[in-house]
Amino acid sequence: MDRSNTASDFVRYVASDGVKIVADVMGNPECPTIILAHGGGQTRFSWSGAMRHLAGAGFRVINYDARGHGQSDWSPDGKYPIDRRWADMSLIANSVREPLAIVGASMGGISALHGVSMGFRPDALVLVDISPNPDRAGMQRVHDFMASGLEGFATLQDAADAVAAYNPGRAQPGKVDGLRKNLRQRDDGRWYWHWDPGMVRLDIEQEHRAVLATMEGLRAAADLPVLLVRGLQSDVVTEDALAEFKVRFPKLEAVEISGAGHMVAGDKNDVFNGAVVEFLSRKLMR
- Residue 17 DSSP symbol: T
What was the pLDDT predicted at 5? Answer: 54
What was the pLDDT predicted at 267? Answer: 47
Rg of the chain's alpha carbons, rounded to an integer? Answer: 18
* CATH number of the structural domain spanning residue 267: 3.40.50.1820
Respond yes or no on whether the N-terminal peptide bond of residue 29 is cis (omega within 30° of 0): no
List the beta strands (DSSP E) in the chain.
8-14, 20-26, 33-37, 60-64, 100-105, 124-128, 183-185, 191-193, 226-231, 253-257
Q: Is the separation of the CB atoms in 94 and 88 below 8 Å?
A: no
What was the pLDDT predicted at 266? Answer: 53
What was the pLDDT predicted at 4? Answer: 44
- Residue 31 DSSP symbol: S
What was the pLDDT predicted at 13? Answer: 97
pTM of the model: 0.91
The verdict on residue 238 lying in a domain is: yes
The total number of structural domains in the chain stands at: 1
Average of per-residue pLDDT values in the chain: 89
What was the pLDDT predicted at 262? Answer: 64
The verdict on residue 222 lying in a domain is: yes
Q: Is the separation of the CB atoms in 207 and 110 below 8 Å?
A: yes
φ, ψ of residue 254 in degrees (nearest 5): -135, 140
pLDDT in tens, the chain (286 residues): 343 456 789 999 999 999 999 999 999 999 999 999 999 988 999 898 999 999 999 999 999 999 999 999 999 999 999 999 999 999 999 999 889 999 999 999 999 999 999 999 999 999 999 999 999 999 998 888 888 889 999 999 999 888 888 876 655 666 788 788 888 999 999 999 989 999 988 889 999 999 999 998 888 898 999 999 998 878 899 999 999 999 999 999 999 887 776 667 554 567 888 999 999 999 998 6
The verdict on residue 219 lying in a domain is: yes
What was the pLDDT predicted at 3? Answer: 38
The verdict on residue 257 lying in a domain is: yes
Cα distances (Å, whole numbers) of residue 252 to 43, 124, 183, 225 = 27, 11, 36, 7
The verdict on residue 208 lying in a domain is: yes
Region of residue 231 (left: phi > 0; alpha: psi -120 to 50; beta: else): beta
Domain range for residue 243?
A: 3-135+204-284
The verdict on residue 150 lying in a domain is: no
The verdict on residue 160 lying in a domain is: no
What was the pLDDT predicted at 58? Answer: 95
The verdict on residue 245 lying in a domain is: yes
Reduce the DSSP state of residue 212 to 3 states and report it. Answer: helix
Q: Tell how many helices (H) and how many strands (E) occur in the chain.
A: 10, 10
